[in-house]
């Protein structure tokens, strides 16, 4: 008597084999993630820069790795290709160059116009400051030694950028250490300088009220005598002017 093996296990084996083949594909597709938001914003900004013919500045951005913290809040100040062609930037100083030519806040030009002349803007490079000279229009806003000539080039994403007519000098012309520790060299403003009050003029003792002869008092109608009030100071003066010379003469 012959027995036949059941064929029900064959489809199960086939299904397991198919799943084993497709499982790596599912894993690879699930591990694929969208690019970070900062990368997308940088790509959008570089496209806007290229449309405005700032190709050399885009090349500098591609040469230096930029972290997400730097790209979260930034406004780039971009010299044009002609200016950058005259500038020698060592490869290890590209990131420093980008820090010096950026503001750690996304600012369109309309925001910058509210900053008055004499203000100080920090750059993304620590201790590098930019002095502001605001002429009130789109062609007279100066930061240190450069002028913004092409405002609002980057506006589509979160990154902002403006074109400038030169390269920011490596040494800032703004110093925050303007106070002197030498107290002798600091003079107070004229409004705070106080002078002692003037001395009173010399007083003539014979013109003081103590030596004035008192006026006669009005007579009392009830008594038939006129009353005169003797001042003690007057008696002292009379005695000193009459008796003292007499005593001196007698003693001589």
| Pair 49, 153: CB distance under 8 Å | yes
Digits of tens for pLDDT over the chain (252 positions)? 555 555 555 666 666 666 565 555 544 443 434 456 778 999 999 999 999 999 999 999 999 888 889 999 999 999 999 999 999 999 999 999 999 999 999 999 999 999 999 999 999 999 899 999 998 888 889 999 999 999 999 999 999 999 999 999 988 877 655 444 444 433 333 333 334 445 555 555 444 444 444 455 554 444 444 444 445 555 555 555 555 555 555 455
pLDDT of residue 244: 54
Architecture of domain 37-164: Roll (2.30)
pTM of the model as a whole: 0.57
What are the contacts of 69-72 at 24+ separation with CB within 8 A? Answer: 70/99, 70/124, 71/38, 71/41, 71/42, 71/159, 72/38, 72/158
pLDDT of residue 48: 97
pLDDT of residue 171: 87
Q: Where exactly are the structural domains of the chain?
A: 37-164
Strand ranges of the sheet holding 120-122, from the earlier edge strand across to the other edge: 102-103, 75-79, 160-164, 146-154, 141-143, 129-134, 120-122
Tokens of 198: 């003037």
> Residue 223 to residues 88, 220, 227: CA-CA distances in angstroms?
118, 6, 9
pLDDT of residue 28: 45
Phi, psi of 143 (to 5 degrees): -120, 115
Phi, psi of 103 (to 5 degrees): -115, 135
């Amino acid at each position: 008597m012959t027995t036949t093996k059941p064929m029900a296990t064959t489809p199960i084996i086939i299904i397991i084999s198919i799943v084993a083949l497709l499982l790596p594909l599912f894993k690879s597709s699930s591990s694929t993630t969208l690019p970070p938001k900062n990368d997308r914003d940088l790509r959008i900004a570089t496209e806007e820069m290229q449309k405005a013919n700032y190709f050399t500045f885009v090349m500098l951005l591609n040469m230096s790795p930029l972290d997400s913290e730097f790209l979260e809040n930034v406004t780039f100040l971009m010299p044009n290709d002609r200016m950058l062609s005259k500038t020698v930037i060592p490869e290890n100083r590209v990131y420093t160059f980008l820090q010096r030519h950026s503001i750690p806040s996304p600012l369109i030009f309309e925001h910058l116009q509210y900053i008055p002349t004499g203000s100080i803007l920090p750059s993304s490079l620590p201790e590098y400051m930019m002095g502001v000279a605001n002429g009130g229009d789109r062609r007279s806003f100066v930061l240190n030694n450069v002028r913004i000539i092409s405002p609002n080039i980057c506006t589509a994403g979160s990154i902002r950028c403006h074109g400038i007519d030169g390269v920011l000098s490596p040494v800032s012309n703004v110093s925050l250490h303007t106070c002197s520790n030498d107290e002798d060299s600091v003079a107070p403003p004229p409004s705070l300088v106080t002078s002692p009050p003037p001395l009173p003029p010399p007083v003539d003792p014979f013109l003081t009220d103590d030596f004035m002869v008192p006026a006669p008092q009005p007579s009392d109608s009830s008594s038939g005598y006129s009353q005169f009030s003797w001042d003690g100071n007057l008696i002292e003066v009379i005695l000193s002017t009459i008796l003292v010379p007499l005593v001196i003469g007698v003693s001589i």
